[in-house]
Structure 1
């Protein structure tokens, strides 16, 4: 005998097997159409693109009081609802001209009298606007353009791609919003609210941005020159001695030997023409800082002579240890190691390091010669031509000029032809740095 299986709970039908009885009206329903009424009718509202909150609306109806077109009854075309209860938005519901040929009705059924009244209900479209735009919008803008109507149709009936494109266009549009304010004299003026908002945003975003001086310092930090003081008011403040010589190295430099020789009227000879021509005068003036600067400059010149050329890009490398010790035997190892760490990268110097060394030597020559130096002796010590030597001084902000007659006489140069081969580098305020040249644009054919 086959067993009857009980249906699972999921297989049971939740709907009742019997239909509920509906009581039919006992009498015939009387239907009537209300064509004219003095009271406000019910309204059917559509909300395209917005989610309408719970708001209290105020109805408005325009009725001309006189004239050939005077109206005394309710007209759906002149009816609208308005609400300003939202803190920032205004909601307005008004009939659309495109729906003028359609009629909508609401049925009101009275079970006590079995009567059904069909009341005309205008179809309105609810839209929201920003209150500032509503106050300042001109009357000419109230009539929608053909393009705006197409966008509305696209939002209602367009494809997903079309709706996304219209929404993106709306989000990226910046419409002028005018805010009325008064100036100090009380005169009414207009300001662009969007422009003010953009300017405020830019001001907030640029509050922490570096200023012009900070950007200039950052630019000079990457150049192979001593860090200049761009706010200096005199040449001596542009490259102070603390920038040209590290304080630790400055304390390790001794000039007692030079002072003793000058006091004994002995001649001081060095491997540098620049140093040899100036040591007696600098020591005789008694300026210890200039003596140490001249001594440190001699160290840099001898260390540069001990380097070997490396590659075609103008780089150099340190020589062998025994060669370096032989050429720099008069200097202590602490000073030599300090120069290596400051101007070399390991055992090599690329083009940037070489230029950095040359500009520091040029800046020391300016310090020793009171910020106006004859470049001839230094050019010979560094084995450079006039163009290269002048370029290093230009990088420091100097003006390189020919000798004047007064300068030629002070340097005791009798021949004008010899004086024409010499140049004077002067550091003046304002500084004259080389202009950045932009590459020429490629020609298009």
Structure 2
């Protein structure tokens, strides 16, 4: 009977104007909220928690959060009210209307809109680990694959790496560890204080170069290298110039040389002992300076022939070496063996190593610079040595030389002698010039390959 009366009252209110009211928020009580789920939706019974600044349920900025076993739901909302230090949020405010049929009133409640974003927990942990240390994550994944599918040797190496890892608890925990850490720190500081400076390291590197002894403070190119260390006075005094001076022509002089295929040696012999004097029946009488240059040229031929005979890694036979070099004075053979070869352990023999070969090349080029006035053509020496021009350029740089473009006169001479087909090709050739103050090339910094 009571239900029928209520239905009659409700029916009687239909068609009448509805009264609108705006609900005033109760201090300390949460209000309604609208949630927009972009993808996954949690179960209906999932509890939600509203986070607001200073715990005010009606604050303009709020966070609505929920959580299941595998997914986290998180949202942020701003009502569009700009506060100090905050940006305005949504420009639209949503209301939820609740109609009371008894009184025919509609009460509007402010309901902020929360756009909910789901986050899978397992992916969240993976992203956190990757941002912390991507390399460590890759190593962990690689270790997992190796321990599952790797060989016994690979698994053994992985376990050894795990045992050798250090962290903050590797040395234990407690007060006694602090003393050990302090000791290690002090030891590191003490050891690092004794490390050489950059200048000391560069000086040591220069001293260890396989080049003749040098004076870094020399003010003239002629004072840079100690010629006595390259070729001793005894070796030069043992060279007899009489056969070369009294030879009838250049062809006969060339046959006296230990190495006959060097254009540099041939050009310098022609320059010091002109062929015209021999053709006219006159015996050349070179000056004291030219006699020294001629001995250096003859000695250079011995070095070139020694390089051809003494191949790196092969044992040297003194008797064959003497024969191949054209029976030079014994003092020269002894000096060549002593200076450019090493003793073989466990055997009474000597051989040329890669270091000794490099030393031979640099000492040889110092003699070339000395004969040619401390400036020589790179292409000519590259042809004589049977090496690429780039490699010979690097050898000259290691001696402190700079590479300069040839002059017009040098270009014309290269074209005239057939060493360059055109003037443009002659421009590509370089001259190595010993320059003071002496500067050696800096070591190139190469990035380590990953």
User: Larger helix proportion, structure 1 or 2?
Assistant: 2
TM-score scaled to structure 2, two decimals? 0.47
TM-score scaled to structure 1, two decimals? 0.48
